[in-house]
A and B are shown apart, each in its own frame.
Chain A
Amino acid sequence: MGEMKALVQGKKKNTVLHRMKKYRILYLLAIIPFAYLIVFRYWPIFLQFVLATKNYTIKGGIWGSEFIGLDNFAQLFHSREFKKILFNTVRISLLRLVCGFVPPIILSVMLFDMNSAVFRKISQSILYIPHFFSWVIVYAIAQVLFQNTGYINSFLNLLGIESKQFLMSERYFLPILIGSGVWKSLGWSTILYLAALTNINTELFEAARLDGAGPIQRIRYITLPGIVPIIVFSLMMNLGSILSAAGTEQILLFYNPTNYEVSDVIGTWLYRQGLGKMKYGLGAAVSVFESSVGLVLVLISNKLANKFAGLGIW
């Protein structure tokens, strides 16, 4: 009898209404974060679609401006400028990937293989530091090294080479941008690989040593295979963010009118032309393009990462 009662009560306690009542305080607390999502995340998405279909004028505002359907998109896909910023965005992202992907893998294997634990710890601590500097600081450093009277030019002068306009040229923009990016992230990017390396079964290394395998065989047959999943995973994630990985914040600091031809990307264009010159309609259309293609790329890359590496972000 008592058991029955408990059972009935137990069932009753599981109704949706009861559970909602149980968590009422949590719902109440979550109002603010969810209000945030609606106001600062969903509203802009809505605005993005509205603006993208409008010929925005200051007088008309968001709601009063003329509705022009997909004209903004038509204008974009026909404009040379959009092709240029799209090309630059993908090019800079790919260059970052090509130059910045392999070095951390090599470095993490080296750090992992290092015999002296003390030297390894100290090196790691120092190599990670640049990651924590803001891009402003990185630009400050780049400027003092590369300016006309800077360290590099003074050094060149010493060798009898004339000073070069490193910061005001099309030619040196990409190497300096990508180089300083790699400088900032190289050490930090090893962390994920090092975490994977420490998970490799140490008995394998022991067995390899007894079998007389040298460092090269060891790396080839044990170390690298041990981190292949993580390598594939990060490669996929990098490819998935190809539209967002150009680094707007860094480029905004490093670029100037002398190199817009190679340095202007989607993000910097949105800031300078979209926001600065109030091309809100066209700018929103660019955002729709960027966010939608970005979404598809991330979904695909996550799927591929799950398939090939057994690792995904969800």
Chain B
Amino acid sequence: MKKRQINTEKVYQAVIAAVVAILVLVSLFPLIYVAGLSFTSQQEYMSRGNLMVIPYRPTLEGYKRILFRDDTYLKGLLVSLLRTGIGTAVTLVCTLIMGYLLSKEDLPGRRGMLFAVMVTVLYNGGMIPTFLTVKGLGLLDTFWAMILPGMVDTWSVLVFKQFFSGLPKEVIESAEIDGCGELRMLVQIAVPLSTAVMAALGLFMAVGQWNAWFDALIYLQKNTDLYPLQLLLRNVFANANMGYNSSIQVDMMKNQTDTSLRMVVTMIGTVPILCVYPFLQKYFTSGVYMGAVKG
């Protein structure tokens, strides 16, 4: 009896190991394939066929062509970095202020403000009215069209509110007795106490900013100089007609077989995420939990 038990447990462990190993491979393979092709010369790719994964003679030719033949992608990289930095900072500050305000239980008008936030969580104006608002403000084709429409993350407002409400009352009361004003209380007590929440929410916001392309697609119609990397990448792959022609992109469109160049662009869009990934890991569980179950 005892022996059979141990055996089923062993079989079970073996099954788990096999299934998980396969899933890990499936998660990893496309990345390795993309990376491999990005270092492959077009000649080698053509001669070896499409089943190759690791190049015999790796080359940086593709990277040189994409990054240095004209400045399209370098500019895109810069825009992406700027929107990630500025967008995350602005959103984080505004979101924190709102959450902090709503955590003050004796604040006159608190319930009304909370309701105003909840409404926007539950109901949104939709693509066209939002577009017309951005247009009406004269923000089309400007950098701020990628920042302002998402300036407050209303979901995260509720997370901050929850966090600040949970702070021990004694901390605030003793600060009040010490004659600490509301501004100092926010800057010197609340903000330092919330660094973990800020880091978790901020990192996820930053990933969202880095990965965003749709807002740029609709709000930046003519100003191709402001295209973030993800939109440039999308234009390389989309079958959609593009009123846009950088010399390299025309090159790639004409020469659909130039897979390795396309993979170089993919790598440039992927590697920065992989670089911050280790720092993100610490916040996974708390981030997801805050995102899913609030209040």
Contacts and interface: CB of A to CB of B under 8 A. Distances in A.
Interface of A: 14, 16, 19-20, 22-27, 29-30, 32-34, 36-37, 39-48, 51, 62, 107, 110-111, 113-115, 119, 123, 125-130, 132-137, 139-141, 143-145, 149-151, 153-155, 158, 183, 186-188, 191-192, 194-195, 212, 214-216, 233-234, 237, 248-249, 252-253, 256, 267, 270-271, 274-275, 280, 283-284, 286-288, 290-292, 294-295, 298-299, 311-314
A175 to B, nearest CB: 15
Contacts of A183: 26-27
Contact of A19 (B2, B108, B127): B108
B185 to A, nearest CB: 9
Given A26-B100, A44-B133, A36 B126 contact: no
Nearest to A114: B16
A41 B125 contact: yes
Nearest to B231: A136
Contact of B237 (A22, A123, A140, A237): A140
Contact of B233 (A41, A127, A137): A137
> Which among B19, B37, B218, B292 has the greatest number of chain A C-beta atoms within 10 A?
B292
How would you classify the secondary structure of chain A's contact residues: helix, strand, loop or mixed?
A: helix
B13 A115 contact: yes
Give 4 nearest A-B pairs by CB, closest first: A44-B125, A287-B126, A134-B211, A44-B129
Interface residues of B, number: 97
Given A25-B183, A113-B12, A313-B295, A33 B98 contact: yes
Contacts of B17: 114, 119
A27 to B, nearest CB: 8
A16 B106 CA distance: 9
A32 B94 contact: yes
B129 A137 contact: no
Contact of B30 (A14, A141, A215): A141
B233 A111 contact: no
12 contacts: A26-B97, A30-B98, A37-B117, A47-B125, A113-B12, A129-B27, A188-B288, A191-B285, A214-B12, A256-B239, A295-B123, A313-B294
B85 interface: no
Contacts of B16: 110, 113-114
A30 B34 contact: no
B238 A284 contact: no
A192 B289 contact: yes
A294 to B, nearest CB: 8
> Which among B2, B129, B148 has the greatest number of chain A C-beta atoms within 10 A?
B129
Interface string B261-295: 01101100110011001001100110011001111
A125 B49 CA distance: 32
B97 A314 contact: no
A50 to B, nearest CB: 9
B137 A47 contact: no
Interface in B145-167: 148-149, 151-152, 154, 158
A25 B133 contact: no
Given A44-B126, A291-B126, A139 B237 contact: yes
Given A47-B129, A153-B50, A283-B127, 10 more contacts: A34-B113, A41-B120, A44-B133, A62-B132, A114-B13, A134-B211, A134-B212, A137-B233, A253-B238, A286-B126
B239 to A, nearest CB: 5
Contact of A45 (B51, B123, B265): B123
A278 B195 CA distance: 45
A137 B294 CA distance: 30
Contacts of B137: 39
Contacts of A48: 125-126, 128-129
A145 B33 contact: yes
A190 B125 CA distance: 32
Nearest to A24: B182
A134 B266 CA distance: 10
Interface string B173-210: 00000000111001000000000000000000001001
A45 to B, nearest CB: 5
Interface string B14-40: 001101110110111011011001000
B126 A270 contact: yes
> Which among A19, A133, A292, A299 has the greatest number of chain B C-beta atoms within 10 A?
A133
Contact of B218 (A107, A150, A275): A275
A194 B284 CA distance: 11
Contacts of A30: 97-98, 101, 113
A234 B289 CA distance: 12
Contact of B51 (A19, A36, A158, A284): A158
Nearest to A142: B30
Nearest to A256: B239
B72 interface: no
Contacts of B104: 23, 26
B214 interface: yes
Contact of B269 (A44, A127, A136): A136
A89 B17 CA distance: 37
A191 B291 CA distance: 12
